[in-house]
Amino acid sequence: MKRRRQIYEGKAKILYEGPEPGTVIQYFKDDTTAFDATKKATLDGKGVLNNRISEYLMSQLNAIGVPTHFVRRLNMREQLVKEVEIIPLEVVVRNIAAGSLAKRLGIDEGTPLPRSIIEYFYKNDKLHDPWVSEEHITAFGWAAPQDLDDMVNLSIRINDFLSGLFMGVGIKLVDFKLEFGRLWENDYMRIVLADEISPDSCRLWDAQSNEKMDKDRFRRDLGGVVEAYSEVAKRLGIMPESVQGEVKGPVLVR
């Protein structure tokens, strides 16, 4: 018998109905995928680390007044979040050229950008999350101009704050992906940060060596994925002893 109702299962997380109306439980799986799930693996302990790292970053953002869906962590793999209507966009903020931007525009990976750049991708697996402009977003009604404005302003604040936070622990925030949702409180709606912020959704490079400490280790077969995520947690000062016990080494690649 199921303990509670599953609302949605994604590639790295499961959403369950929360304990009270307007809440959802976000469960972090060890599963990891890349390239539209054509590449898959289960990385022991990854979900625990991402739950913890995302809890920490979302709490810090809540504390400076950035509205997020995060309420509290419930256990090693689950957190309680507010139910929001997800806006079908991935908002990517970039500080240093890497990944798809480097490839698309022929810029060497690692080139600092003249200023932070925000890009939007339409969340649609069948279409492989295509790159879209503000024109597409407002014309097709994925977000209203005011919503988009809010998302941009929040993204810039989040980038400034997180860049400093990571630099303080010897990590460069190269780029990251955010998702936003509409939070309804009676008849009033506001845009809040949703989903997760973790090494799955960021590019994080060691400030000294430029060594990758994020999901590119999996995408590019560099190995040591969970070890790198643990190092991020450790530097943030949030590495619980019990996580070290859960991180068991070899990686099963299907």
The DSSP letter of residue 111 is: P
**CB of residue 67 vs ligand ASP: minimum separation in angstroms?**
25
Please check whether residue 252 is in contact with residue 246, taking contact to mean a CB–CB distance below 8 angstroms.
Answer: no
Using CA atoms, how far residue 17 sits from 25, 38, 83, 128, 190, in Å, is: 6, 29, 9, 28, 21
Q: Which residue's CB atom is positioned nearest to ligand ASP?
A: 33
Task: Give the amino acid at 76.
Answer: M
Q: Segment contacting ligand ASP (CB under 6 A): 32-40, 45-53, 116-124, 140-148? A: 32-40
Window 209-238: residues binding ligand ASP (CB under 6 A): 215, 219
The whole-angstrom separation of Cα 15 and Cα 4 is 10
Using CA atoms, how far residue 233 sits from 66, 106, 137, 157, in Å, is: 22, 33, 35, 22
Instruction: Kindly tell me which of 11 and 74 has the beta carbon lying closer to ligand TMP.
Output: 11
Q: Rule CB under 6 A: which residues touch ligand TMP?
A: 92, 98-101, 175-177, 201-203
Residue from 7, 19, 37, 220 binding ligand ASP (CB under 6 A): 37
**CB of residue 51 vs ligand TMP: minimum separation in angstroms?**
16
Q: Which does 11 bind (CB under 5 to 8 A by kind): ligand TMP, ligand ASP, none?
A: ligand ASP
| H or E stretch covering 46 | helix 46-63
If one asks whether residue 33 binds ligand ASP (CB under 6 A), the answer comes out as yes
If one asks whether residue 11 binds ligand ASP (CB under 6 A), the answer comes out as yes
Q: Segment contacting ligand ASP (CB under 6 A): 33-41, 89-97, 222-230, 234-242? A: 33-41
Parallel/antiparallel/unpaired status of strands 188-194 and 202-206: unpaired
